Structure 1
Amino acid sequence: MVDYWNRIIWPMIEGAQMTVLLFFIVILLSIPLGFLLTLAVKSRFKPLSWLAQLYITVMRGTPLLLQLLLICFGLPMIPVVGEYLVFDRFVAACIGFVLNYAAYFAEIFRGGLLSIDKGQYEAAKVLGLTKWQTTTRVILPQMFRVALPAVANESITLVKDTALLYAVAVPELLHFAQTAVNREFTIVPYFIAGVIYLAMTLILTVFFKWLERRYKYE
């Protein structure tokens, strides 16, 4: 049993650490970037709004795997500047995930803002609140409450999408599972990987359910 743990399970747990690291990096960077994109789309400066909308359309309309391959292997092939666009595989993957998920979060936040009644803005103005106070104390809390279920769903999808690291040669959970399958000639590592992914998604599900209950009664 100890030998089985050392040969199969422990390397997969180490690979899961890479999965978790990528998850937190992407969440911490893509959510703020997504919100900035939402503000850009709603900007009265039309060129900025059009560019932001074009970016969101392209990132949501093309496969994440294609974007990862482009950043990892395509950018270094660009003439003249390609040599300055060579990134560590994990760094390149982080860039790809952040840029992709920011576009999805931008649409989620835009939907949250659209759901807020215009009367909220008028009421805040009557109360003498500044634009900053209106945004931070009235609009954003309501937007977050509305957007939370979609953010939760997208976060759970992110956990599963981290398996795409395997395609750009970053050693993560699926990489070690595949290695164990090839070495041991058994599909058991696939089931172990599935259990680990399931455990991570269940933890996220419980966390977001707690958040939803908390904000429901605030």
Structure 2
Amino acid sequence: MTPYHNTSEKGDYPWWLVALAVIAVIIAIVIFANDLYAQVFTVVAAGIGVTVFVTIVGFILATTLGLGIALMALSESKVLRQIARFYTEVIRGVPILVLLFYIAFVGAPGLVWLINAICSPLISSGAMEPMLVRDISLVWRAILALMIGYSAFIGEVFRAGIQSVDRGQIEAAKALGLSRYQRFRLVVFPQAIRVILPPLGNDFIAMVKDSSLVSVLGVADITQMGKVYASGSFRFFETYSIVAYIYLILTIGLSLALRAFEKRLRRNEFR
């Protein structure tokens, strides 16, 4: 039996996309034609900005930290490799929701205590006010939790991509006298990024969906706005239908953009 992804490469017409587009248009017409749905959409859509902000900032930070973890895992130092493996296994074993609660209500107070302890001479002299837990907003606590939670998975993506580069090319670059940094920048990373980008894009889409978990902290994202409206109006069907609709538009739109980018990347690779 031919795998699905192979048949799609042969040019099967994307009827699933047509069906989704038709459904999306019908729902959009209903939203703008019905006052109730229009009101729900207006309220829920107010959280799109927060969702996008949390996702983009969280993903950038997670990617940066994940790259650092991957480089530690591939380091010649045994200590760094063990630290990277310990971090990856522990973080991957904790659910994102639990991590959100832990960072918000344990990590943030701990960080404030540490900062105040380090700056205690300045605080004692009156040159600096002691930091309070409320100084770290719930939005940034949520971003930190997503950063830590996803960095472990992204680190594994980077590690696998870097290890996919042929060892012979690295040895050839070494024979040419390139430094370790030059080998990574000029030889390893340009080839590894082609392997890394597809799963990295999938992690970004997954973070868009997992960003809905920040609503448990009261962060005013799409899910939280829907939760507040539904609890006050008891319009659960209408509200969560709109919430699901907005998330589908975001995730499917990103998925299509990533597929188009991957195809363009493959075409450039075989030119």
Q: Given the two structures, how large is their TM-score scaled by the length of structure 1?
A: 0.90
Which structure 2 residues correspond to residues 86-165 of structure 1 after superposition, within 5 A? Answer: 86=133, 87-165=136-214
Greater mean deviation of Cα atoms: 120-129 or 208-217: 120-129
User: Paired residue for 1:39?
Assistant: 71
CA distance in 2, matches of 1:43, 1:4: 58
Aligned residues: 218
Correspondence 1:16 to 2:48: yes
Correspondence 1:49 to 2:81: yes
CA distance in 1, matches of 2:98, 2:49: 24
CA distance in 2, matches of 1:192, 1:209: 26
Structure 1's consecutive aligned runs of 4 or more residues displaced over 4 angstroms after TM superposition are 82-85
User: Paired residue for 2:94?
Assistant: 62
1:35 shift after superposition: 0.5
CA distance in 2, matches of 1:54, 1:85: 31
2:262 is paired with a residue of what secondary structure?
helix
* Conserved? CA contact 2:40–2:238, under 8 Å: no
CA distance in 2, matches of 1:146, 1:134: 18
CA distance in 1, matches of 2:107, 2:172: 50
Correspondence 1:200 to 2:250: yes
| Equivalent residue letter for 1:151 | L
* Conserved? CA contact 1:75–1:85, under 8 Å: no
Percent identity between the aligned chains?
31
Q: Given the two structures, how large is their TM-score scaled by the length of structure 2?
A: 0.73
Correspondence 1:28 to 2:36: no
Larger Rg: 2
Greater mean deviation of Cα atoms: 63-72 or 205-214: 205-214
Greater mean deviation of Cα atoms: 120-129 or 165-174: 120-129
| Equivalent residue letter for 1:41 | A
Deviations 1:16-74 (A, max 9, x none): 11100011101211111110111111122222221121111111111111111011112
CA distance in 2, matches of 1:108, 1:136: 18
CA distance in 2, matches of 1:103, 1:67: 13
* Conserved? CA contact 1:13–1:173, under 8 Å: yes
* Conserved? CA contact 1:41–1:48, under 8 Å: yes
1:212 shift after superposition: 1.2
1:104 shift after superposition: 0.8
CA RMSD of aligned residues (A): 2.3
1:11 shift after superposition: 2.1
User: Paired residue for 2:219?
Assistant: 170
